[in-house]
Amino acid sequence: MGVVTTIKEKCRRCYTCVRECPARAIKVVEGQAMVIEERCIACGNCVKVCKQGAKSILSHKEIVYDMLESDGRVIACLAPSFPAAFDTLKPGQVVAGARALGFSEVWEVALGAALVSAAYEKLVGQDGDLLITTPCPAIVGYVEKYLPQLVPRLAPVVSPMIALARALRSRYGDEPKIVFIGPCIAKKVEMEDRNVAGLVSAVLTFREFTEMLEESNVDPANMELSDFDGPDAGVARSFPISGGLLKSSGLSQDVLEKDIIVSEGKERAIPLLREARRGNVHAKLLDVLFCEGCIAGPKMLNDLSTFRRREIVADYVKWSAERANQLGKEDGRKVFADVDMGRSFTVDNKILPYPPEEEITAVLRKMKKFSPEDELDCGACGYPTCREKAVAVCQGLAEPEMCLPYLIEGLEEALADLENSNRELKVTQDQLIHAEKLASVGQLSAGVAHELNNPLGSILLYAHLLLKELKGKGKEAEDVEVIVSEATRCKNIVKDLLNFSRQGSFNKEPMNINEALERSLKASSSLPGFKDIKVVKHFDGGIPEIMADENQLQQVFLNLISNAVWAMKGGGTLTLSTGMKDPKTVEVVVRDTGCGIPKENQKKLFTPFFTTKKMGEGTGLGLAISYGILKMHSGQISVDSAVGEGTTFRITLPLVTQRDRVENN
């Protein structure tokens, strides 16, 4: 298990940790920003920036509890930044709290800093190439993994934590357990480093230490002050503030001198190290830290400014110097002068191979980046440019879906598809409701038609007999002719009702749409007002045959043409068109330049008995019958109309297939 891990339930796709990780040790998997253990340098930047608290730190609390419950000696080593972390307590109260938890002794890691500073004094005094300071384990890890060319330039000196651990081992041997307490997450990695492993038993962050105090009901604020064990650390207590190493080592950092460069914070430290790799740095010593001094470590306990923390540490340095004089403490540098401060480093190259250009281009296209203008470089994915993001995708560190514009466009397309689906669903629902209504009306119509046919037949029979007797003369004959006319109209209505109720009965045969329209047009020529209509035909001669009942389709065409002629009283243009809507569908268009249909009436057009014609001009069954016929042919009919501009009906019918031919032969 890695030192830093992701809590999946809390990760919310903000990708801030991706942006802030200098080691590119965050891999996005299904939207979750997962830490890659072997690439992580435990600098803690991802922990600092995660507002959701989705990054978990490996805890050593239980390990330390077990140590304290044992009979052996357990020594607490407090990092030099502790006064700035526990700003509401006096330094001696923090020491007292550690003793109350059960630690046998409490030492200052500042003493290790003093020993390290002495080692740097000797190194810098020698002539040689560039040296990079190594008290920061995150910097060491970064160089070993991502700037392996600089590994020989790492100063062969241990960190203050390891320095103090060696000093304690020199005094007590291997028996005691040594626990480091500080603000640094990377110390948990450093204690396992193969080149210094076995010296430190556990690492607690300041947060873990505070939790242990609370869990053990230890309140340092109510305790008497307690002094550190061991000799005096001297000015090395300033180690956690900017330039602390140089001050502790007695080295000068003159702004006009180029021999020593101090750089803190990843935004400055990383570029400086990269310049050093390129050979563009001519200094003798680079003092670099990932944080802005250890007083800005990722696990400090308060939100104080860096300036206020510096003041607290500076005050502590002065006070502790006076206190050491009062107690007559020895100089720690002299006490442990013979302890070895040397160490070596190991190249652990984690540089990923750069992908081929064609792979990068393919990923950019997948993210809908087809030209330089499409590469917005918005940084929402955590990468500064779209190209770097594409490279990360090729290297298996990122996903195309991390691109915010890509996601927004995808969401817009999905919403559009959903809207279209909802629209199609609504149309289907309307069609089902309409079909159900038609079925009910059809059953009713059939019953009514059968009941009316017999009496109508009798009325017409006797009316014709009366006309015969009257020989068509006189007032009585005129009245009887009215009876015959109205009865005949009723009989036609009954006929329409029967046609409406018998839509399920038809005979499919191969037919030519253009020829059927020609015959329907010819049959309509006797309609009143037809002679005033200009007919325009746009027939596609290449349309294949369809499988249909020609008589029934002609009835549909006749109904539409008849309605168009009626709508163009006084003249107009009737346009008939045929063509292919798609490779499997034939389209027939009937367009007129008549009066048009109001918006509120368009949804009612295919409802039985709905008509805008005057009494006696129509039954309101023509379009309902046409709708039913087309549905039985697996076709569709739609209308588009504007008052005063005209109406367009569109019919779509499926093409004939070989299977249809076989089934109908």
Do 39 and 103 reside in the same domain of the chain?
no
Angle between helix axes 206-215 and 91-101 (nearest 10 degrees) is 60
Please state, rounded to an integer, the average pLDDT across all residues of the chain.
85
CATH of the domain at 19: 3.30.70.20
275: tokens are 């310049």
Do 12 and 67 reside in the same domain of the chain?
no
Per residue in 372-423, pLDDT (tens digit) is 877 777 777 778 888 888 898 898 888 877 776 666 666 777 777 777 777 7
Q: Is residue 411 part of a domain?
A: no
Average pLDDT of span 178-205:
96
Average pLDDT of span 340-363:
93
Nearest to 588 by CA among 517, 534, 506, 511: 517
Least confident of 275-279, 439-443, 645-649: 439-443
State residue 626's pLDDT score: 82
State residue 248's pLDDT score: 80
State residue 503's pLDDT score: 47
Do 554 and 436 reside in the same domain of the chain?
no
Average pLDDT of span 362-369:
84
Residue 114 near residue 190 (C-beta atoms within 8 A): no
Domain with 431, as residue range(s), is 416-502
Q: Which residue has the higher pLDDT, 122 or 215?
A: 215
Do 396 and 458 reside in the same domain of the chain?
no
Instruction: pLDDT band for 146, please (50, 70, 90 cuts).
Output: very high
Residue 183 near residue 294 (C-beta atoms within 8 A): yes
Determine what percent of the chain is predicted with pLDDT higher than 70.
86
Q: Is residue 88 part of a domain?
A: yes
- Does the structure show a pLDDT above 60 at 665? no
Q: Which residue has the higher pLDDT, 445 or 375?
A: 375
| Length of the chain as a residue count | 665
β-pair type (105-108, 74-78): parallel
- Does the structure show a pLDDT above 80 at 607? no
State residue 57's pLDDT score: 94
State residue 443's pLDDT score: 56
Do 259 and 227 reside in the same domain of the chain?
yes
- Does the structure show a pLDDT above 50 at 662? no
**CA–CA gap between residue 186 and residue 298 (Å, rounded):** 10
Query: How many domains is the chain built from?
Result: 5
Determine what percent of the chain is predicted with pLDDT higher than 90.
47
State residue 254's pLDDT score: 54
CATH of the domain at 438: 1.10.287
Do 441 and 589 reside in the same domain of the chain?
no
φ, ψ for residue 649 (rounded to 5)? -105, 135
Residue 248 near residue 236 (C-beta atoms within 8 A): yes
Q: Is residue 408 part of a domain?
A: no
Do 149 and 249 reside in the same domain of the chain?
yes
Apex CA 478: angle with CA 474 and CA 479, to 5°? 115
391: tokens are 């490279």
Q: Is residue 90 part of a domain?
A: yes
- Does the structure show a pLDDT above 50 at 255? no
Instruction: pLDDT band for 609, please (50, 70, 90 cuts).
Output: low
Per residue in 555-588, pLDDT (tens digit) is 889 889 988 998 888 889 999 999 998 888 999 9
State residue 617's pLDDT score: 55
Do 64 and 203 reside in the same domain of the chain?
yes
Do 135 and 276 reside in the same domain of the chain?
yes
Average pLDDT of span 580-608:
86
pTM over 0.95: no
Q: Residue 35 forms beta bridges with which residues?
A: 26
**CA–CA gap between residue 614 and residue 106 (Å, rounded):** 107
Average pLDDT of span 623-630:
80
Apex CA 498: angle with CA 496 and CA 503, to 5°? 95
| SS3 of residue 413 by DSSP | helix
State residue 436's pLDDT score: 60
40: tokens are 């992580």
Do 181 and 322 reside in the same domain of the chain?
yes
**CA–CA gap between residue 274 and residue 278 (Å, rounded):** 6
Task: Work out the number of other CB atoms within 10 angstroms of the CB of residue 435.
Answer: 13
State residue 504's pLDDT score: 45
Average pLDDT of span 646-653:
93
Q: Is residue 235 part of a domain?
A: yes
b/e 26-44 (16+ beta carbons within 10 angstroms → b): bbbeeebbbbbeebbbbbb
Q: Is residue 344 part of a domain?
A: no
State residue 472's pLDDT score: 65
Least confident of 106-115, 353-362, 460-469, 534-543: 460-469
Number of H helices, E strands in the chain: 23, 18
Per residue in 228-242, pLDDT (tens digit) is 999 999 999 999 988
Give the single-character DSSP code of 330.
P
Instruction: pLDDT band for 613, please (50, 70, 90 cuts).
Output: low
Q: Is residue 246 part of a domain?
A: yes
Q: Is residue 462 part of a domain?
A: yes
Do 525 and 610 reside in the same domain of the chain?
yes
- Does the structure show a pLDDT above 70 at 159? yes
Residue 5 near residue 56 (C-beta atoms within 8 A): yes
Average pLDDT of span 279-293:
89
Task: Work out the number of other CB atoms within 10 angstroms of the CB of residue 205.
Answer: 30
Residue ranges of the alpha helices (H) in 603-657? 622-632
**CA–CA gap between residue 154 and residue 139 (Å, rounded):** 10
**CA–CA gap between residue 463 and residue 490 (Å, rounded):** 14
Nearest to 281 by CA among 159, 152, 157, 150: 150
β-pair type (585-592, 546-548): unpaired
**CA–CA gap between residue 162 and residue 333 (Å, rounded):** 15
Run of H or E residues at 653: strand 646-654
Distance from chain centroid for Cα 332: 56
Q: Point out the domain boundary residue: 42, 58, 74.
A: 58
Nearest to 367 by CA among 398, 307, 407, 331: 407
b/e 611-633 (16+ beta carbons within 10 angstroms → b): bbeeeeebbbbbbbbbbbbbbbb
Do 523 and 632 reside in the same domain of the chain?
yes
